[in-house]
Structure formats: structure tokens, C-alpha cells
Structure 1
Amino acid sequence: MTDIGFVIATYYSGQGFYIDNNDYKTLRWYEDNTITKPTLEELTEKWDEHLAAQPLKELRTKRNKRLAECDWVLVPDTPLSQEKIDEWKVYRQALRDLPSLAEDPENPVWPVAPQ
């Protein structure tokens, strides 16, 4: 079911509206809005786009956490050899590339961190 209030707040920001129990029939669009009232079909399309983007968004969040966990390897006083630093750089680049390369963002093949 489309979350109409969420869609309007997210994709039609700054527009005033009232809705009761997420029922499009009760949607009141304020007269001073700069955009015409979206149709239920338009709102549903935006909701579907939002849902479709979630797996990739979650992948990026997990990827960013993994990147943050290995930030320490790039500080100037790291005890690692240059060879190990280079391995970590390759790993970090693989993490950055993952969102564009993952065939299934919900089940990505994560690169393996160097030991």
C-alpha cells in the first residue's frame, strides 16, 4: 500500500496537504501550493520508485560502515607496510565500486578485507 503522506512529504516538499488514514479520497491539497495535486497513480509511481531504491540505499549504508571500519589504514602513522596499505586500498576501492557492480543489491558479494 502506498504511503501517501510519506510520498508527498518526500517528493512534494513544501506543499501543504491534509490526509486522513492514508486515504487518497480524503487528501486535501492547499490552494496556495505551487504544484497541482498529484494523482493517486503519480503517488503510487513515486512510492514504487522509493521501494525499488531501498536495497541499493541499504547496500551503501553497509558499505559505508565497512569503509569507516578501515579508515585507520590510511592514516600517515599506520604501522602497516606499503604492500599491506596497497592491499587495503584495493579492498576499499572494491567497496566503493560495489553499488554500481552488484547484480543483486540485497545479496551482494562483498569483497574480502585483507588480513
Structure 2
Amino acid sequence: MDIRKIKETCLYITSLEKSKAFYHGKLGFEVIGEVKDRHVFFRAGASVLLCFIAEASKQSTTLPPHFGTGQLHLAFEVEKAQYEPWKEKVKRAGIKIEQEFDWGGGFRSFYFRDPDQHLLEVVMEGMWER
């Protein structure tokens, strides 16, 4: 079996409104699904970012519950030519960049946080290629 990619990633949040304002309003991710007081889903390139209110998801009876706690990390990949424009977009949106790192080989990434303090990263395409 050959896994092609991680199709969806899940974060556990405290406010649908704050997450929607951040991921859709500031980062421009398309909202592709929403259930009041439970979850909001976003398109992130070819992947899907699922944001659940953990306590509401624990009550699920039709699918396995999605829940967890703590500050998680995920990285968004962008074309090398889009790295600087994305960094400027994040800054213009009033989001603090915590750190930028040079990984060598011409690859860089920067880190910032969402309203629930999850650590987000923007990485240059090709950084993890075989």
C-alpha cells in the first residue's frame, strides 16, 4: 500500500466563530462545512482542515467521536515563490510570527498561532520530498 497524503487534519477548538474568523477571514481558507455548535471544516489546498468543538464531538453517535486536548502543530505547504507573500499576508492580518527558521538547502518556514494557540507553520514546497 502506498499512502499518497494526509487528506484531512483535525484541530480541537473552543469557538467556531473565532476559528472561522481566523482561518477563513484572515487566512482565506474556504469554508466547506459547518454544523452550529459542533464543527467547521475548511479547504486547505488539496487537504481539509477539520475544527471540532471537542465536547460536542464527544457526544457523536453516528461516527466515532473526534476529541482531544492540548496545543497541536500542523504545517501548510506553499510554493517557494509564495512563501514571502504568505508571510506578508499573515503579518498584514495582524498575526504575530513567532519564529522563522532556515532549514538549509534553500528551505525556510515560519511559525504562528491560531486563536486556540495551536502552532501553525508555513513551509516551502519540497522540504520533505524523498
- TM-score of the superposed pair, with normalisation by structure 2: 0.23
Q: Which has the larger radius of gyration?
A: 1
- TM-score of the superposed pair, with normalisation by structure 1: 0.25
Instruction: Give the structure with the larger helix fraction.
Output: 1
Instruction: Give the structure with the larger strand fraction.
Output: 2
